[in-house]
Amino acid sequence: MTTAVIGSVAQRRFSDIVPPLLDDAYTLAKWICRNSADAEDIVQEAAIRALKALETTAIDRPKPWFLTIVRNAAISWMAKNRPKDLSYAGDAADLDSIDPRLGEFAPDPEQALIAFEDGERLRRAIAGLPSPLLETLIMRDVNGLSYRDIAEATGAPMGTVMSRLARARASLMKTLKAEP
């Protein structure tokens, strides 16, 4: 096979695998870097890495594979551009992925304000999680990955993934109960 043929095969595989995962990739990158424009750059870098990898890599489960690339690209980007700021955040729009009711229209202004304040409290609580807990929570509850897929994406044992998820959820509950 020539290089051009390998390139076209990789491009075809890329077209089948990556575009359906771009929303999840962007959400994960935005939570990691806290900035929409930077998240776009990270996803673009991840897509380039994925295209190069598809020339030689067989992919059984595309979603965890690509989110691993996104996670690694985000960590590399953060280490290069903001080495002292490796924390995560997202915005209120990301909360719809966690709890769709937060994005619903409230029937009156008081309920709308309460829903907005609850969403902001949840966003702050999630953003305050330590990085390993946050990325595990996002991969599970936002991106819908299985424990096995998260273990593969993060390089952590499955028991560690389960523990991180439990600790993340417990921390959120504790934080949300403590706030007025």
> How far apart are alpha carbons 57 and 14 in whole angstroms?
11
CB 42 within 8 A of CB 36: no
What tokens does 75 get? 């960590």
pTM of the full structure:
0.66
| Helix axes of 158-178 and 109-127: crossing angle, nearest 10 degrees | 130
Task: Give the range of the structural domain holding residue 99, as residue numbers without chain letter.
Answer: 3-178
Count of domains forming the chain: 1
Amino acid 116: pLDDT: 58
Amino acid 118: pLDDT: 66
pLDDT in tens, the chain (180 residues): 444 444 788 888 899 999 999 999 999 999 888 889 999 999 999 999 999 988 888 888 999 999 999 998 998 888 888 766 544 444 444 444 444 443 444 455 555 555 556 677 788 888 888 888 989 999 998 888 999 999 988 889 999 999 999 999 999 888 888 765
CATH code: domain of residue 51? 1.10.10.10
Q: Compute the CA torsion angle 139, 43, 27, 33 (nearest 10 deg).
A: 90
